[in-house]
């Protein structure tokens, strides 16, 4: 997924013509009856095994740019605390090989994955196998691999996947899932891995990534991800080709975006469900929606779309649904987030992960002010923001202590007005480890544990 610049219509490789989504939407009565019978016969799902997911790959960059996140009471919080409160149990992070910026590289992803794991989230790592966005219209090789032959490309790919995952494992993080490629509708690492011309090469790439992930930890589940979850013909073409060329995978990943498909959301969800059930039956494989989203300013409709997609995915025996970048607001013109730019709070779209059917956009609630102390991001490196609220004008003192009880720094000391305030701790000259942020104002005392990771 690449946000607003993506073109979701994709000519099916090998056919020379775009899939006719209108004909796909013409589902006859027999198929609906068969689907209904299969759903009735399917055993009930164990909800704890279903991943309520969110891709938050932009988060570290947004935080570095000063973005603030609030819960639905208006309280500033760590964004990951908020999404957890909204029922999110798994987080997805993309990794590029050598991007121009310091975001979405191995170091940034290791930091974010460790942060997620320390908060109890399951982790999905999305290998784009490029220096930038990979999607149906763009599958460029990393610059460092540009002139490599196929055997060397396979070595590059193995070393990249193994290196990132081995680094994570050294930090105590074993991702639950790994994607080899992102929206690989016609393969990856063009032109060598262009599936319509070199399906055997693409199959070798998938199998190489699979082997690298399993070499780090055999429990990691490997995903092959295509966009256009409504397009059953595309999926059959691709996975027939991969299977016939000896590729291994554990899960088929789908993108389900009504906006990009230019379909009503209930039609897109229904076609995706039929495709899921066909993939499970045809390949004896598992399925997961690894990307989905809806327009942020149509939050009630987004809630209904997401509730329906989650229900349909569960009914098929799917493993989870991931919302693509819900935390985004006023960010790089991305319109499919689930955060309100006016309030800096999540929209009712996110309530779908709690099983809540929204009928209207939530109104801002007035609440009695109280003392509050929060720290975000946490864990952090090297800067974190301490946010505090005073219900009345008062003296306030905020300090940071190490595990020995020694004061490391004194951040705030003086009289301040009522309301929200914040201060930044730049921990450039202290070692990694556990610290404690202590706030005292009158009779109020609060301490928050914070973790510095370098």
Residue 303 sits in a domain of what CATH number?
3.20.20.80
Of 323 and 27, which is predicted with more confidence? Answer: 323
Question: Which of 354, 387, 421 is the last residue in one of the domains?
Answer: 354
Q: Any idea what DSSP says for residue 354?
A: G
In a domain, 242, yes or no: yes
In a domain, 336, yes or no: yes
pLDDT at 375: 84
In a domain, 1, yes or no: no
In a domain, 425, yes or no: yes
Question: Which of 310, 326, 354 is the last residue in one of the domains?
Answer: 354
**Shared domain check, 271 and 407:** no
Question: Which of 307, 327, 354 is the last residue in one of the domains?
Answer: 354
Which of the four pLDDT bands, split at 50, 70 and 90, describes residue 368?
low
Q: Identify whether the C-beta of residue 320 lies closer than 8 Å to the C-beta of residue 51.
A: yes
Per residue in 66-81, pLDDT (tens digit) is 999 999 999 999 999 9
Please give the model's pTM, rounded to 2 decimal places.
Answer: 0.77
Query: Distance between CA atoms of 85 and 83, rounded to whole angstroms?
Result: 5
Structure tokens at 335: 């319109």
**Shared domain check, 334 and 386:** no
How many domains in the chain?
2
**Shared domain check, 284 and 136:** yes
**Shared domain check, 331 and 418:** no
String of DSSP letters for 47-89: GGGSEEEEE-TTHHHHHHTT---B-TTS-B--HHHHHHHTT--
**Shared domain check, 389 and 350:** no
Asked if pLDDT for residue 396 goes beyond 50, the answer is yes
pLDDT at 376: 78
In a domain, 13, yes or no: no
For the chain, what percent of residues have pLDDT higher than 90?
78
In a domain, 308, yes or no: yes
- Return the biggest CA–CA distance within the chain: 74
Q: Per-residue pLDDT averaged across 372-380, rounded?
A: 83
Which of the four pLDDT bands, split at 50, 70 and 90, describes residue 28?
very low
Query: Distance between CA atoms of 371 and 420, rounded to whole angstroms?
Result: 9
Q: Identify whether the C-beta of residue 408 lies closer than 8 Å to the C-beta of residue 421.
A: no
Number of Cβ within a 10 Å radius of residue 429? 8
**Shared domain check, 222 and 259:** yes
pLDDT at 58: 97
Which of the four pLDDT bands, split at 50, 70 and 90, describes residue 136?
very high
Q: Any idea what DSSP says for residue 122?
A: E
Residue 436 lies in domain: 372-452
Structure tokens at 284: 């004896």
Asked if pLDDT for residue 436 goes beyond 50, the answer is yes
| Mean pLDDT for all residues in the chain | 89
Per residue in 30-40, pLDDT (tens digit) is 444 444 444 44
**Shared domain check, 248 and 319:** yes
**Shared domain check, 307 and 378:** no
The residue among 415, 427, 435, 436 whose CA lies nearest residue 454 is: 427
**Shared domain check, 282 and 135:** yes
Q: Per-residue pLDDT averaged across 96-123, rounded?
A: 97
Put residue 305 in one of left, alpha, beta given phi > 0 → left and psi -120 to 50 → alpha: alpha
Residues β-bridged to residue 355: none
The H or E element that residue 306 is part of is: helix 299-315
In a domain, 30, yes or no: no
**Shared domain check, 325 and 198:** yes
Least confident of 67-76, 113-122, 372-381: 372-381
**Shared domain check, 215 and 145:** yes
For the chain, what percent of residues have pLDDT higher than 70?
88
**Shared domain check, 411 and 309:** no
The residue among 333, 188, 318, 179 whose CA lies nearest residue 256 is: 318
Q: Per-residue pLDDT averaged across 44-54, rounded?
A: 71
pLDDT at 362: 67
Which CATH number goes with the domain that contains 408?
Answer: 2.60.40.3080
In a domain, 28, yes or no: no
How far is C-alpha 166 from the geometric centre of its chain's CA atoms? 21
Structure tokens at 381: 């490196």
């Amino acid at each position: 997924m690449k946000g607003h610049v993506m073109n979701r219509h994709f000519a099916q490789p090998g056919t020379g013509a775009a899939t006719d989504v209108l004909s796909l939407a013409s589902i006859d009565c027999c198929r609906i009856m068969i689907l209904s019978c299969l759903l009735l016969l399917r055993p009930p799902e164990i909800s704890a095994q279903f991943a309520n997911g969110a891709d938050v790959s932009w988060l570290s960059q947004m935080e570095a740019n000063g973005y603030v996140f609030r819960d639905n009471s208006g309280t500033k919080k760590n964004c990951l605390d908020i999404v957890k409160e909204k029922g999110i149990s798994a987080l997805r992070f993309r990794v590029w090989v050598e991007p121009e910026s310091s975001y979405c590289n191995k170091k940034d992803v290791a930091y974010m994955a460790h942060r997620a794991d320390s908060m109890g989230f399951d982790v999905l790592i999305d290998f784009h196998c490029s220096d930038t966005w990979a999607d149906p219209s763009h599958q460029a090789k990393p610059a460092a691999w540009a002139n490599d032959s196929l055997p060397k490309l396979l070595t590059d790919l193995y070393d990249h996947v193994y290196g990132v995952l081995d680094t994570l494992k050294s930090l105590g993080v074993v991702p639950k899932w790994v994607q080899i490629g992102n929206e690989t509708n016609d393969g990856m690492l063009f032109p060598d891995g262009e599936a319509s011309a070199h399906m055997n090469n693409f199959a070798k790439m998938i199998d190489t990534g699979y082997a690298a992930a399993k070499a780090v930890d055999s429990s990691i589940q490997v995903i092959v991800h295509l966009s256009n979850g409504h397009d059953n013909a595309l999926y059959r073409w691709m996975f027939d080709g991969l299977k016939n060329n000896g590729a291994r995978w554990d899960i088929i990943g789908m993108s389900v975006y009504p906006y990009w498909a230019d379909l009503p959301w209930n039609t897109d969800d229904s076609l995706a469900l039929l495709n899921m059930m066909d993939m499970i039956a045809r390949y004896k494989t598992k399925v997961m929606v690894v990307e989905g989203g809806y327009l942020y300013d149509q939050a009630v409709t987004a809630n209904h779309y997401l509730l329906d997609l989650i229900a349909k995915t569960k009914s098929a025996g799917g493993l989870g649904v991931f919302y693509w970048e819900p935390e985004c607001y006023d960010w790089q013109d991305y319109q499919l987030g689930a955060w309100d730019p006016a309030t800096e709070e999540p929209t009712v779209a996110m309530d779908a992960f709690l099983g809540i059917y929204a009928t209207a956009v939530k109104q801002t609630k007035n609440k009695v002010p109280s003392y509050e102390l929060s720290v975000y991001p946490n864990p952090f490196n090297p800067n974190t923001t301490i946010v505090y609220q005073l219900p009345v004008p008062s003296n306030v003192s905020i300090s940071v202590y190490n595990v020995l009880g020694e004061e490391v720094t004194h951040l705030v000391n003086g009289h301040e007005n009522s309301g929200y305030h914040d201060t930044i701790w730049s921990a450039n000259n202290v070692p990694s480890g556990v610290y404690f942020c202590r706030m005292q104002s009158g009779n109020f005392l609060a301490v928050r544990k914070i973790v510095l990771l370098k």
